[in-house]
Amino acid sequence: MKNGPDYKVDSREISGKNILMDKEKAKKEIERLRKEIEEHNYRYYVLAQPVISDYEFDQLMKRLQELEQQFPEFITPDSPTQRVGGEPLKEFATVTHEIPMLSLDNTYNYDELQEFDRRVRRVVSKPVYLVQQKIDGVAVALRYENYRFVLGATRGDGVHGDDITQNLRTINTIPLRLRKNLKGFEKFEVRGEVYLPRQEFVRLNEEREDEGQPVFANPRNAAAGTLKLLAPREVKKRKLECFIHTVPKPPAGYQRDSETIRALQELGFKVVPPSDLFDTIEGVIEFCDRWQNERYKLAYDVDGMVIKLDRYADREELGTTEKSPRWAVAFKYPPEEKETRVKRIFVNVGRLGTVTPVAELEPVFLSGTTVTHSTLHNMDEVERLDVREGDTVVVHKAGEIIPQILRVVKEKRPANARKFQMPERCPVCGTRLFKEADEVAWRCVNASCPAQLVARLVHFGSRQALDIEGLGEKLAEQLVRTGLVKNFADLYELTVEQLMELERMGKKSAEN
């Protein structure tokens, strides 16, 4: 019998004294696998520097699951296998926060930031400011005992929150067991923000739209709605992440927040970036100004910057009010909104037959890109906005990524503005559209509709599916229009010669 990766306990060989020996070997192997898996989780989700393939990781997880099934007495709450989510909950228990979760005072311009600095300097002669991104997510508190995650809660009213421990266990960036046993962190609490990455927000809304469900307005609402689900397995599917920003009661010996943050990184937490230090408010303002545009390049929503005193002694000097600390403030970026004109409203047919109204817009530069279209989701949304062709509208980007019409500027509505009517038939195949009584979406029920096939092919080739390089909307449309592809199986019968006959398809692209 081998030890190491190939080791497996054969229950038929276990008898008498050997039971203890075999169980001991299994326990050591389980512990080794857990440490290895958590290390790879940390490298993948926190550092974004994986060192093994997905297949190799899956094999490690499979091996651990097999051993835990064989020896269920060794299953512990901090095992990586317990991230998959447990049984559905009936309701959330209430948690009392040991230290109230206060909110921050908001500032919206640099004059207010300078006034904050003046108030600080009346008490602290040489303040040092720590500046972090203000993540637009859901505030949570995480408790650890014996270096293991034992409880997670929402902010609630600041004094009492919901126990969402089981949902938080599904988030890969929340360590179930800390990477190191640092002195002072045997029992402590951290606070942070749970958020939904922008691309996952897009995927989730596309999925909900296809299924005829209401879409989320922004990633924060999606994250909040997800954490309220009573089914942890459903939470796991949505790929939430978590940034940590605060230890409300720092361990003895730590004098600065910046020191504590470095310790949190050693322990395996994903800490809010960039945690830069400044000794003047002018440096803080310059930093905030730079990030106002840089934030659009991030994979998650940032709606401002948090400015707080770095030294704990200085914080003690300033104290807190009933609602917020006097030693910290949130600088909020103004939401970027632009006016543009609706040129026309048309419909798209999705892979499940969902027919979605889309507004074509006069091009407008918004949050780092030029916007030309905005989905209107469904007829309920069209009627709520009362948007018409020719209208002037105010647009922004939901989650800094999805163009969205916020409102119609009705005083600028032209006399010839035309109301949109959902067509009775599919604009592609002519099939009569159908709407379920309990859904908001209209559908084309013709499974052979070319538009649906194009959308299914694009999804089939996307990163969420088989990740086929080059299989985008334009190529999918050509494949369907020319009759080369009538189903997924036809993709595997295509020849280089057939592909080279398509528009903008050279030999190298066809061979790929």
* Residues in contact with 83: Cβ distance below 8 Å, sequence separation at least 6, in sequence order: 169, 170, 171, 172, 176, 236
Closest CA to 394 of 347, 335, 341, 332: 341
- C-alpha 46, offset from chain centre: 13
Beta strand pairing status for 106-107 and 328-332? Answer: parallel
Burial class of residue 136 (count of CB atoms within 10 Å of its CB; 0-12, 13-18, 19+): buried
Closest CA to 140 of 193, 185, 90: 193
The H or E element spanning position 210 is: helix 198-210
Amino acid at 447: A
Q: Do 154 and 191 form a contact (C-beta atoms < 8 A)?
A: no
Query: Is 134 annotated as catalytic?
Result: yes
Token pair of 99 as six digits: 């230290």
Q: How far apart are CA 345 and CA 374, in angstroms?
A: 10
Q: How far apart are CA 98 and CA 187, in angstroms?
A: 13
Q: How far apart are CA 350 and CA 355, in angstroms?
A: 6
Backbone angles phi, psi at 306, to 5 degrees: -100, 125
* Residues in contact with 43: Cβ distance below 8 Å, sequence separation at least 6, in sequence order: 49, 50, 51
Question: Radius of gyration over alpha carbons of the chain, in Å?
Answer: 27
Kindly name the residue from 25, 62, 134, 180 that is annotated as catalytic.
Answer: 134
Q: Do 139 and 155 form a contact (C-beta atoms < 8 A)?
A: yes
The half-sphere exposure of 432 on its side-chain side, counting CA atoms within 13 A, is: 1
Token pair of 384 as six digits: 């709520």
| Number of neighbouring beta carbons within 10 Å of residue 361 | 22
* Residues in contact with 309: Cβ distance below 8 Å, sequence separation at least 6, in sequence order: 120, 124, 127, 128, 129, 130, 257, 315, 318, 327, 328
Helix, strand, coil shares, percent, the chain, to 5:
35, 25, 40
Q: How far apart are CA 454 and CA 78, in angstroms?
A: 44
Give residue for tokens 């901090």: 78
As a three-state string, the secondary structure of 31-47 is HHHHHHHHHHHHHHHHC
* Active site amino acids: 134
